Structure 1
């Protein structure tokens, strides 16, 4: 395989006038898209960006993001995606750690880059959406000529996203051309692939691996059309799906929760959607149930991480089990391991009931496959902790297992189930408590719109189970009422000793609850 962007050339040759990108009433054909990526690649080369150099993309979901991303790869560079909500202090680490030499960003964000530029290797700034002092406007930056894709090896790094940093300094993840090419094909294949007439909702942030690979790359490599949205808004998303007759929707659970709680949700016609998927964090069963009551497509859950590019497991339209993250993708291996790295035996069939002792069936989910990252960038200790090499009998090369840090179990049919993050497990009075179990119950309560459960230090018990709840509008539910509800449905040691009502939960832009903020709640 050469540079993975060359795959798009086949679509350009076969369907030059087909829509590659749709945005705000405008459409960019594949031929126009291919020319602009070539012009962007040539402009990078003219600016002194060499193959192997890193270029930051500090943008929301816009057509220029898609063009810049592919142009960087076409020039043989490495994309460093950056959250456009980050401030100077946050991007300083990403730019400095990666040694990026150029940045593409909104005109309004150029000052953020300039504030830290002297502490980085950045010599070129390209602005989107207007002129900015010290930057070259995107259209003016494009060269007259186009650069042919620079040859890259399968194992060359294509992209360096950063972990969310919710538990420490964000780490650069080295994803290769092979990693991304595998995922762009393998993940859509479990739902009958992406067709040339498919239209993909592009609302997942493109700086995040889920949006980047499963929506943008997968769509363009199969010749479909990609419809980015610059920010999440439930009403705008529903309107776009209906008006443009979009056919594939990917989102995080928080987005689907917004949809099912939308006051006019049942007024929208989503009849053109043939596939809907949730990932990024655990999908509450109640959100799945309510979505499927409102709309025709079943909502399928998958699983993955930045380090696995991202999808490792998925439910199939014709082979799913609610409550499960599905089975491993073809070509991906997964198992559940205990603290001694011995494989934990499967349960007969999941999900397990309340009488099952989770500690007897739960272990860490580990992954091996062509989607697993090369390594963390300049983090030898983190790399040592992240991988276990296991000998394969007489084979010369053993299996390289990546530690996800997620606790779960699997059943004899091959379905896997996430219980919780290892670092989120609560130990109270000697008992192991998995927050997701309590959260699932809270989501079933009619007065609860959103919920998260954390462990708070307690001198007597070690940790106390504490719930944070967003009420449904006009609800008069009380903390005592919710505590009693949990007592009625869970073992006594699992119920929240404290319930706090909040207007909203602190979440990342990809919908993950930032539990460290809740643990420090006062």
Structure 2
């Protein structure tokens, strides 16, 4: 018998003494040094300036447009990037907006993204948006945050972003300015001129022939001020921030820096408010955990995660920039760009990459791309986060490549990262590691009125976090209900009266887990019911709420079904009203048209007689998860002609585990290998 609980092992559980916050060994940065650096860099701009000052002529950022032509790149020095950051900040200042104005960024991964993010933060609040969201959802988010400026992509063949920008401009009343960036500027060599011609043609198609005279302004409402990116920032000084000595304009550590949208439990993404101190402190905490030598000056880091996600912005952005390192940005679509995975090891060799951050689906894909003649000896570590890493994928990747994966954990509400397996010493496969230095992460048993008791070693509870990195709360105040926890009744009372230092409160991650006697954390499930598809959070309500409007549906429930590649895929269970029948194809078409996020459209729809309910009448999703797990495992084994009995059974730690009894003992190892690719708790025998 082999027990393979997803990314966890029960051997570490003793369930005796109280667990404690045991951070990764912090010899890389003690508390005195941490506080010193935190005071020296109150904002993200100051953090970037620190890296710039190490060597202004060093390469800061390289970008290649296509994975099939990864050797063709643009490279920007720290001096060039700082110039553009100054120009962006100065341009934003000339718009005459209120101090806490929100500037939305709706872009694919382009070099300008980093300058937009840091430049906007020198004066206002940046709000990166997922371009794959439907325009109605984006408009709702921007209207909620009262966005004043939208930085987006100019019309370009085979892109939909400008059409979304036009919709947003018509529906977000607070919006006053649209700034467009031309992707044709990044097409190099002989293709440059044809790309510019095609871009102008697309401008006319999407806006009007008057775009020849007025540019993309032709497609926008009259009240919107349109700005061409290159023209707008070229007019601004690049040697300094013109307002740097104006205390009423310069941002400080407690000012809002960014609004990131995060998958929540209320249907639409929630808007998480973060201050500069959250972002700067978390960069320093990562450095304390991993050491400056891993990602510091002279190192090359690959960025392929989307820059609307905090992981890409912080781990492969502000972290290396703070140390004068070199970031290589891979295609507008990141790792999903055509040819990126197929040429991955060539990219590592070409740019002598030392470190990259990815999600489990990337590592799973790379198992199919053998290292041939490429020299990848520069690559030291890979960081995996955003979703559980199947143990089988973990083991196969390290065996096949000889590289070390550091599995980590974090959430937008705690800025980005909160735990990681240590570089030095023991790594525990299946664990999300130990907490970062200079923040606290523990497992808690929740009590009434926002109080808790620390869990014992091995006792499953809620993972909670506090520290300088913890966010300021959600934009909509009602969404902050029940997310904060307090050490004492007195602290809770002070918080109710707005008299408590925010650093003393804990944020409830919503994730369930336990801590072993060495301080390593193991996740056992998610109390919140998010579906994690390829590291991207999907709220089930984003699927369920529109489906209820289809008609003749009594109950519906969306869950995540295990998937070898994506980790989970969204599927939908539907119970018709009594006496009604549902046309499955019509419902599938309806979902295509009415679910506001492409990634959330169910990959499967199951019409069943009765959806399981709790005694109080709520949908009991664990029962549906059991069905989905059994089907996923059984289908995979059947595809490989392995006969097995697949069931589930109750489990005190994980709620339930999926049990596989293989008929032919000679196929047992193959079955373990195949089923082990799922990030679920398994018992295979």
Q: Which TM-score band (shorter chain)?
A: 0.7 to 0.9
The yes-or-no answer on 1:380 pairing with 2:488 is no
Contact 1:266-1:294 within 8 A present in 2 as well: no
Change (3 A) 1:13 1:459: closer
Contact 1:80-1:161 within 8 A present in 2 as well: yes
The yes-or-no answer on 1:70 pairing with 2:118 is yes
Instruction: Find the aligned partners of 2:79 and 2:507 in 1 and give their Cα distance.
Output: 39
Q: 314, 337, 353: which one pairs with 2:420?
A: 314
For residues 113-152 of structure 1, the aligned pairs below 5 Å read: 113-120=165-172, 121-129=174-182, 132-134=215-217, 135-142=226-233, 143-146=235-238, 147-148=241-242, 149=244, 150-152=249-251
Superposed CA offset, 1:452-495 (max 9, x none): 49896744995241236789xx9883499576256799999744
Contact 2:104-2:150 within 8 A present in 1 as well: yes
| Structure number with larger C-alpha Rg | 2
Q: 335, 340, 344: which one pairs with 2:455?
A: 344
Shift of 1:344: 1.8
Change (3 A) 1:221 1:344: same
Instruction: Find the aligned partners of 1:102 and 1:208 in 2 and give their Cα distance.
Output: 19
2:353 aligned partner: 246
TM-score, normalized by length of structure 1? Answer: 0.80
Instruction: Find the aligned partners of 2:523 and 2:304 in 1 and give their Cα distance.
Output: 25
Superposed CA offset, 1:318-339 (max 9, x none): 1421111111111111221224
1:160 aligned partner: 259
For residues 279-358 of structure 1, the aligned pairs below 5 Å read: 279-319=385-425, 320-340=427-447, 341-347=452-458
Superposed CA offset, 1:198-223 (max 9, x none): 11111111110111111111111111
The yes-or-no answer on 1:46 pairing with 2:103 is no
Instruction: Find the aligned partners of 1:477 and 1:389 in 2 and give their Cα distance.
Output: 50
Shift of 1:116: 2.5
Moved over 6 A (4+): 392-396, 453-457, 468-471, 487-493
The yes-or-no answer on 1:189 pairing with 2:280 is no
Instruction: Find the aligned partners of 1:490 and 1:390 in 2 and give their Cα distance.
Output: 30
Q: 74, 88, 112: which one pairs with 2:164?
A: 112
Contact 2:361-2:567 within 8 A present in 1 as well: no
Instruction: Find the aligned partners of 1:488 and 1:365 in 2 and give their Cα distance.
Output: 25
Change (3 A) 1:13 1:422: closer
Quick check: 315-324 or 365-374, which moved more?
Answer: 315-324
Q: 469, 493, 503: which one pairs with 1:371?
A: 469
Change (3 A) 1:496 1:23: same
Change (3 A) 1:311 1:178: same
Q: 8, 16, 24: which one pairs with 2:48?
A: 8
Change (3 A) 1:267 1:91: farther
Instruction: Find the aligned partners of 2:521 and 2:102 in 1 and give their Cα distance.
Output: 36
Shift of 1:384: 2.5
Shift of 1:49: 3.4
For residues 215-226 of structure 1, the aligned pairs below 5 Å read: 215-226=316-327
Instruction: Find the aligned partners of 2:566 and 2:388 in 1 and give their Cα distance.
Output: 13
Q: Any idea what SS the aligned residue of 1:22 has? A: strand
Superposed CA offset, 1:255-285 (max 9, x none): 11111133x3555442111121101111111
TM-score, normalized by length of structure 2? Answer: 0.62
Gaps of 5+ in 1: 348-360, 427-434, 498-511, 514-522
The yes-or-no answer on 1:91 pairing with 2:138 is yes
Q: What is the Cα-based RMSD across aligned positions, in Å? A: 3.5
Instruction: Find the aligned partners of 1:455 and 1:481 in 2 and give their Cα distance.
Output: 27
Instruction: Find the aligned partners of 1:484 and 1:490 in 2 and give their Cα distance.
Output: 18
2:274 aligned partner: 175
Number of residue pairs matched by the alignment: 466
Contact 1:20-1:30 within 8 A present in 2 as well: yes
2:382 aligned partner: 276
Contact 2:398-2:405 within 8 A present in 1 as well: yes
